[in-house]
């Protein structure tokens, strides 16, 4: 057997923090063969990114390799000088990062950034760099490459920026590509395009790939072998198929469980212990009268005829009935966030009516709605649980905020009692109420956001990608919490997301939006099983479906290809 391209033996990395040394990864061993695609899967804090930084020797100042060996093609990476390391980076091993827009220098032309890499590694001279960079832009399928060479990152979409980052990484035809969450924050369709591009190019150049992700489904769809990491340890490693069919360790099983797939119900995501504690869901509920009725809603930005004129939402009509959950699905830029902002009355409408509890609220100017009587009945849970909390407010203060603003007559004792009640309702340990956002975990912050939203007993809750920033196991718990609350409090949901698989778990009906219009509307199972439009089909096809634990891997591939046709 040929030696592996990259071999990591008992690697440990320590970080010096104010509270002393923290071991981020502890004695892990893994290897990548030539031409192989390895997936490293784990939740935040598992040490998966730190592993890759250690390989590239680009750890922060605080981090240092505490033990173990990294060898690449027979070289001991942890021993070589920084100068030699620089020649290896970009030329032998290169890396793609998450958040592509931030990963590019904002004030340098993207083509120039690719050219920098080419010139650095003597793949081009100053005179040929431009042509070679354009060649790379073409290789990553950027149209109009000649013109795009001159573009700055802010002028490109997230997907485009990621293509540029890929072009930078592959410019010198390295042997090993490390992709660190390359599609986090991108739409499902863009995710598929980017992942397909990476696998196509790495296959063409006969490169090895390490894909670091929190998404088991994505890793399974693109990798030969998977390594599951938890808290700095390798839990399990096996071929993708074997890992899915016969997970050995409890953590892997839990992770597999929590990853939503086509046939799972919201309760299936929980561990057996959690399921035992969960509320029994009614078999089916019949939705009541219309709660929210949106008619011919339209939103224009800029003046017609001017350069920045843009119609974000055109002629949108839909109803949400009492006790119903409606999913609003579409790619970024389809107008779903504009729609939610208009319903929340954060944004004025151009045309159309929004009837909520029998009153047309579209006529109320956005600035005045904050003091409107109906404001308490309409609440929102935001996408980023960290950024949507005031960093200087304790959890208690955040939850108290709507109570203070919308029912100022409440006595302090009543408010205190209500906060405790809310914390219990969302499963936030009462002793955490005094903590500030930075002292809470992602899931705990999400609970604070939800408690704040339900404080005024709203009729309608708008959920704007509430789990997009959370780990799968936390997502599973939060989704279940939302399902419980809906039945306990009799709320209706408007669930906004780009991920059909997640929306399906909570919603009875789904609306698919594209370019400000509804392209398809129907029951969740209709949309999932028998989509009528090509757009919905492409959205479905883009979701990387992990195989059901008993199904064989070949069926999964067939499914994905089916949908793509």
Chain positions contacting another protein, by CB under 8 A: 56, 58, 61, 86-91, 94-95, 97, 99, 102-108, 116-117, 120-121, 150, 152, 154-155, 165, 168-169, 308
The helix/strand count (H/E) of the chain reads as: 21, 20
> At closest approach, how far in Å is the CB of 113 from another protein?
8
| Nearest-approach distance from CB 115 to another protein, in angstroms | 11
Closest distance between another protein and the C-beta of residue 127, in Å? 18
Nearest to 40 by CA among 224, 304, 185: 224
Burial class of residue 462 in the structure, from the number of CB atoms within 10 Å of its CB (0-12 exposed, 13-18 middle, 19+ buried): buried
DSSP E strands in 409-542: the ranges are: 460-464, 492-497, 509-514, 517-523
Tell the smallest beta-carbon distance from residue 201 to another protein (Å).
Answer: 16
Take residue 521 and report the two structure tokens written for it: 């509307």
Closest to 37 in 3D by CA, of 215, 266, 195, 164: 195
CA distances from 399 to 122, 137, 449 (A): 58, 49, 8
How near is the Cβ of 167 to another protein at its closest, in Å? 11
Query: Closest separation between CB of residue 232 and another protein, Å?
Result: 21
Q: How far is the CB of 37 from another protein (least distance, A)?
A: 19
141, 172 contact by CB (below 8 A):
no
CB 124 → another protein: shortest distance, Å? 14
Q: Where are the alpha helices (DSSP H) in 490-533?
A: 500-506, 524-529
Helix (H, G, I), strand (E, B) or coil at 489: helix
Compute the least distance from the CB of residue 253 to another protein, in Å: 34
Measured from the CB atom, the residue of 114 and 216 that comes closer to another protein is 114
- E strand segments, 199-309: 208-213, 225-230, 233-239, 290-301
Q: Which residues are within 8 A (CB) of 531 and not within 5 positions of it... i.e. 6 or more apart?
A: 520, 537, 540
Tell me the three state secondary structure of residue 108: coil
Write down the least CB distance from residue 89 to another protein, Å: 3
Quick one: 22 or 58, whose CB is closer to another protein? Answer: 58
Q: CA dist 227 to 207, 214, 235, Å?
A: 19, 11, 8
Of residues 99 and 274, the one with the C-beta less far from another protein:
99
Nearest residue (CB) to another protein, 40 versus 456: 40
Which two three-digit tokens encode residue 316? 């949108």
Q: Min. distance of Cβ 302 from another protein in angstroms?
A: 10
Nearer residue to another protein within complex by CB, 95 or 256: 95
How far apart CA 183 and CA 193 sit, in angstroms, is 10
Considering the complex, state which of residue 87 and residue 268 has its C-beta at the smaller distance from another protein. Answer: 87
Query: Do the strands 351-356 and 290-301 form a parallel or antiparallel pair, or are they unpaired?
Result: antiparallel
CA distance linking residue 221 with residue 244, whole number of Å = 11
Nearest residue (CB) to another protein, 56 versus 255 = 56
Question: Left, alpha or beta for 35 (phi > 0: left; psi -120 to 50: alpha)?
Answer: left
With respect to another protein, which residue has the nearer C-beta, 161 or 428?
161
Return the number of the residue (108 or 204) whose C-beta is nearest another protein.
Answer: 108
Toward another protein, which CB reaches closer, 105 or 554? Answer: 105
CB 57 within 8 A of CB 79: no
Q: At what angle do helices 188-204 and 534-542 cross, to 10 degrees?
A: 60
Of 53 and 393, which CB lies nearer to another protein in the complex structure? Answer: 53
């Amino acid at each position: 057997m040929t030696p592996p391209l990259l071999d990591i033996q008992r690697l440990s990395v320590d970080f010096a923090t104010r509270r002393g040394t923290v071991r981020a990864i502890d004695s892990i061993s893994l290897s990548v063969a030539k031409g192989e695609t390895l997936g490293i899967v784990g939740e935040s804090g598992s040490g998966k990114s730190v592993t890759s930084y250690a390989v590239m020797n680009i750890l922060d100042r605080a981090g240092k390799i505490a033990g173990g060996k990294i060898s690449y093609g027979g070289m001991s990476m942890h021993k070589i000088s920084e100068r030699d390391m620089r020649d290896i980076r970009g030329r032998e091993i290169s890396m793609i990062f998450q958040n592509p827009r931030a990963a590019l220098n904002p004030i340098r032309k993207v083509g120039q950034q690719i050219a920098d890499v080419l010139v650095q590694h003597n793949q081009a001279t100053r005179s040929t760099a431009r042509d070679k960079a354009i060649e790379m832009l073409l290789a990553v399928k950027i149209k109009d490459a000649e013109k795009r060479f001159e573009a700055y990152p802010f002028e490109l979409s997230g997907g485009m920026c990621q293509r540029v980052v890929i072009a930078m990484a592959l410019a010198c035809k390295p042997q090993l590509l490390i992709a660190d969450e390359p599609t986090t924050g991108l739409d499902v369709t863009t995710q598929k395009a980017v992942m397909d591009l990476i696998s196509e190019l790495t296959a063409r150049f006969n490169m090895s790939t390490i894909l670091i992700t929190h998404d088991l489904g994505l890793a399974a769809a693109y990798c030969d072998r998977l390594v599951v990491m938890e808290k700095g340890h390798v839990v399990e490693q096996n071929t993708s198929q074997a890992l899915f069919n016969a997970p050995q360790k409890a953590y892997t099983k839990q992770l597999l469980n929590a990853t939503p797939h086509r046939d799972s119900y919201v309760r299936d995501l929980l561990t057996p212990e959690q399921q035992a504690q969960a509320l029994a869901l009614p078999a089916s509920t019949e939705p009541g009268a219309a709660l929210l009725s949106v008619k011919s809603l339209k939103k224009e930005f800029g003046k017609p005829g001017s350069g920045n004129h843009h119609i974000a939402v055109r002629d949108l009509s839909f109803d949400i009935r009492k006790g119903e959950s409606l999913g609003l699905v579409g790619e970024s830029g389809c107008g779903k966030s504009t729609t939610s902002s208009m319903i929340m009355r954060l944004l004025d409408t151009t045309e159309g009516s929004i009837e909520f509890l029998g009153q047309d609220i579209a006529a109320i100017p956005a600035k005045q709605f904050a003091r409107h009587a109906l404001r308490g009945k309409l609440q929102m849970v935001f996408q980023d649980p960290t950024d949507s909390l005031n960093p200087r407010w304790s959890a208690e203060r955040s939850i108290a905020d709507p109570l203070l603003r919308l029912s100022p007559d409440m006595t302090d004792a009543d408010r205190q009692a209500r906060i405790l009640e809310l914390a219990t309702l969302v499963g936030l340990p009462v002793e955490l109420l005094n903590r500030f956002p930075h002292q809470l975990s992602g899931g705990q912050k999400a609970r604070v956001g939800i408690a704040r939203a339900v404080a005024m007993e709203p009729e309608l809750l708008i959920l704007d990608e509430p789990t997009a920033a959370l780990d799968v196991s936390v997502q599973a718990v939060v989704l279940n919490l939302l399902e419980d609350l809906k039945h306990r409090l009799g709320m209706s949901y408007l669930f906004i997301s780009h991920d059909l698989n997640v929306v399906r778990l909570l919603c009875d009906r789904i609306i698919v939006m594209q370019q400000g219009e509804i392209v398809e509307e129907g029951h969740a199972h209709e949309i999932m099983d028998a989509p009528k439009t090509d757009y919905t089909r492409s959205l479905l096809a883009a979701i990387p479906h992990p195989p059901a634990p008993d199904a064989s891997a070949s069926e999964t591939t067939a499914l994905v290809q089916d949908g793509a046709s």
